[in-house]
Amino acid sequence: MNRLKLAPTLIPTIKHLNEHISPHTGWRVERTVVRYTKADDWYRKFAERVFLVTDYLRTPEQKLTQGTATGALVVNPFTGKAIPLFLADYVLMTYGTGAIMAVPGQDQRDWDFALAHGCDIVRTVQPPPDFDGEAYVGEGPAINSAFLDGLGVADAKAAVIAWLEAEGLGRGTVKYRLRDWLLSRQRYWGCPIPVVYCDDCGEQPVPLDDLPVDLPNDVEFMPTGRSPLMTHEGFLNTTCPNCGGGARRETDTMDTFVDSSWYFLRFADPWSDGAPFTAGAADRWLPVDQYIGGVEHAILHLMYARFFTKALADLGVAPPGLREPFRRLFTQGMIRLGGTKMSKSKGNLVAPEEILDRQGADALRLAHLQVKPPQEDVDWEDFGIDGCAKFLARVWRLAVPGGPLTADARTGVSTDADEVIDRETHRLVARITDEYDRWSYNTAVAGFMEFTNTLYRWVQADDGPHGPTLDSAVDTLLMVMAPAAPHLCAELWERRRGGHVHTVAWPVADPDKLVDDTVTMIVQVNGRVRDRIEVPVDIDAATAEAAALASVRVQGFLAGDPPRKVIVRTPGLVNLVV
């Protein structure tokens, strides 16, 4: 009987099994199930139709739900109940054994399939109280899971594995995702292997002076089932570097995954002629601080890069302490148009030239940054390019030398406006620095806009700030905005200060100016807000109570009577009970 490799925590709650569809699945189904009632002819026709669907179209984004019940049943070892076996178009032969357990409550594809085919849907993990979606893919305590109820993921895994092993039904294993693509994916255009074969000398490496081995440009791509290099006599036949006799080149190639698995090591030492890199240079520069790439890299390129790094370190080529190639991974979201990912093959692309001519590159950049957190997918229709262009125009009017907003800045003794703007400037630096570090670009753009609005309010007020205070605030705004809107900020900086804004040291916030001197205290009467009062952050309870009782607004609700009870939570709340 075939065995499935399954995530242990989900086995007790399986509602049905989904088998991949291919012309070769029939024998597996017959061996796996209790009974199989579909005729071979029917299955073959159905499989041939679905088999034309590519692996890409079977990804979660495509929401495939085509399939059918086989009439076969399998037994869940935990419950002893028979559950149905389906053929499903979204199941990949390359994933595990090509058959998956379906737990609709925890997987959106299983949820969609279950809805389409009338299968039971039961949640297996408790979602948070505010969750209102369909399948919940986050973590939480197990529910509807027999003896696993209430356990977290780690404890539930251990409990299931222990039960299976005790019953003799299975054992815990580690499933590695590495494949042999580096060599099994043969492509003519792959990296040639620098080895030749001599009848007298055996395998011989190609001499260093003859590297690299170049691929021929005139191969014939004929459906022979063999590499076109095997029929190219000019490439195949060569001379043995050891004896000078005839030899044959290796015709297998290495997949491009080989290149992408270690290129970062060469970047650490690009001018080394005697070796791809030196251990000293690799030790100095690696690991890479930040890797940015699509989520699919986590189970593809990144795994092979990790394998190569560890292998090269074990061989003594890379530093022995270099066990991981990358410190951090960030996976960006995708931009969709018409509900689907932009793609050349689909033709659903947006040409930026018209936007650049009408609103400028910085407006487009800001729109990308502010629409959503960068790790999330976003629809092109949600981009607010017009709003970003208007905001940049406001910054220009505020910052351009001699502009109407700053031409008549105050002189003389500092005012409250100077203190407020100076404090807000330091808060801007602290906020944007933190948000850049956390990839929170959308909230950083919101910070630019809020700070600009603050400056506008003050420069248009009768008691506005002095010139030096305003200049410092605007300069700081341009410095922290420069990574997001480089063209506008560079132009304004050159006009204001000369030189280039991107060569200026990053501003540093004064910690003392990040602390509030005052706080807004809420005053309630019988639990309802009746006033808000600015008070010192270190106000004591007696002073807070006195300030609340002295409020003219509050006195109107007391009608001259003293409160029966006073609840004080300094410095933010006073509640008067009458």
Q: What pLDDT, in 10s, does the model give residues 321-343?
A: 999 999 999 988 888 887 777 77
- Give the gyration radius of the chain's Cα atoms: 34
pLDDT for 530 equals: 93
Q: Which of 300, 302, 296 is nearest to 327 (CA)?
A: 302
Residues 104 and 114: beta-carbon distance below 8 Å: yes
Q: Report, as an integer, the average pLDDT of 58-81.
A: 69
Residue 327 phi, psi dihedral angles, 5° rounding: -80, -45
Output the pTM of the full model.
0.61
pLDDT above 90 (res 186)? no
| Location of structure tokens 């005052």 | 518
pLDDT for 460 equals: 80
Task: Assign residue 526 a region (left: φ > 0; alpha: ψ between -120 and 50; beta: otherwise).
Answer: left
pLDDT tens digits for range 513-548: 888 778 889 999 999 999 999 888 889 999 999 999
**At the topology level of CATH, where does 340-512 sit?**
Isoleucyl-tRNA Synthetase; Domain 1 (1.10.730)
The two structure tokens encoding residue 189: 């255009």
Residues 336 and 378: beta-carbon distance below 8 Å: yes
Q: What percentage of the chain carries pLDDT values higher than 70? A: 84
Q: What percentage of the chain carries pLDDT values higher than 90? A: 39
pLDDT above 60 (res 56)? no
- What whole-number distance in Å separates Cα of residue 145 and Cα of residue 160? 11
pLDDT tens digits for range 434-466: 999 999 999 999 999 999 999 998 888 777 777
- What whole-number distance in Å separates Cα of residue 215 and Cα of residue 192? 7
Is cis: bond before 194, omega within 30 of 0? no
pLDDT for 547 equals: 93
CATH entry, 518-577, from 3.10.20.590, 3.30.1490.20, 3.50.50.60, 3.40.1180.10: 3.10.20.590
pLDDT above 80 (res 367)? yes
- What whole-number distance in Å separates Cα of residue 342 and Cα of residue 331? 17
pLDDT above 90 (res 238)? yes
Residue 17 confidence class, pLDDT cut points 50, 70, 90 = low
pLDDT for 1 equals: 35
Residues 76 and 14: beta-carbon distance below 8 Å: yes
The two structure tokens encoding residue 94: 């390359």
pLDDT for 3 equals: 44
Q: Report, as an integer, the average pLDDT of 194-219.
A: 92
Residue 34 confidence class, pLDDT cut points 50, 70, 90 = very low
pLDDT for 576 equals: 94
Residues 369 and 481: beta-carbon distance below 8 Å: no
pLDDT above 80 (res 178)? no
pLDDT for 42 equals: 64
pLDDT tens digits for range 473-521: 999 999 999 999 999 999 999 999 999 999 999 999 998 888 877 888 9
Average pLDDT score, the chain: 83
pLDDT tens digits for range 298-328: 777 888 899 999 999 999 999 999 999 999 9
pLDDT above 70 (res 427)? yes
pLDDT tens digits for range 563-576: 999 999 999 999 99
pLDDT above 50 (res 37)? no
Please give the C-alpha separations between residue 64 and each of 14, 57, 262, in angstroms, as whole numbers. 20, 8, 36
Q: Higher model confidence: residue 292 or residue 73?
A: 292
Residue 255 confidence class, pLDDT cut points 50, 70, 90 = confident
Q: How many CA atoms lie within 13 A of 333 on its CB side?
A: 16
Lowest-confidence region among 89-98, 202-211, 267-276, 438-447: 89-98
pLDDT tens digits for range 108-156: 888 888 888 888 888 888 888 888 888 888 888 888 888 888 888 888 8
- Order the strands of the 528-536 sheet from edge to edge: 528-536, 518-525, 573-577, 565-569
Lowest-confidence region among 89-98, 183-192, 514-523: 89-98
Residue 79 confidence class, pLDDT cut points 50, 70, 90 = confident
DSSP 334-383: -EEETTEE--TTTT----SHHHHHHT-HHHHHHHHHHHS-TTS-EEGGG-
Residue 49 confidence class, pLDDT cut points 50, 70, 90 = low
pLDDT for 440 equals: 94
pLDDT tens digits for range 399-422: 998 877 765 556 656 677 888 899
Residue 95 confidence class, pLDDT cut points 50, 70, 90 = low
pLDDT above 70 (res 239)? yes
**Would you tell me how many other CB atoms lie within 10 Å of the CB of residue 365?**
20
- What whole-number distance in Å separates Cα of residue 99 and Cα of residue 4? 7
Is 438 strand, coil or helix? coil
pLDDT above 50 (res 7)? no
pLDDT for 338 equals: 75
Residues 524 and 530: beta-carbon distance below 8 Å: yes
pLDDT for 449 equals: 96
pLDDT for 494 equals: 96
423-449 burial: b if 16+ Cβ within 10 Å, else e: bbbbbbbbbbbebeeeebbbbbbebbb
pLDDT for 182 equals: 66
pLDDT for 455 equals: 92
CATH entry, 14-167, from 3.90.740.10, 3.40.50.720, 3.40.50.300, 1.10.10.60: 3.90.740.10
Q: Report, as an integer, the average pLDDT of 372-379.
A: 87
Lowest-confidence region among 79-88, 92-101, 163-172, 404-413: 404-413
Q: Report, as an integer, the average pLDDT of 78-83.
A: 78
What are the domain boundaries of the chain?
14-167, 184-256, 260-331, 340-512, 518-577
The two structure tokens encoding residue 135: 């399948």
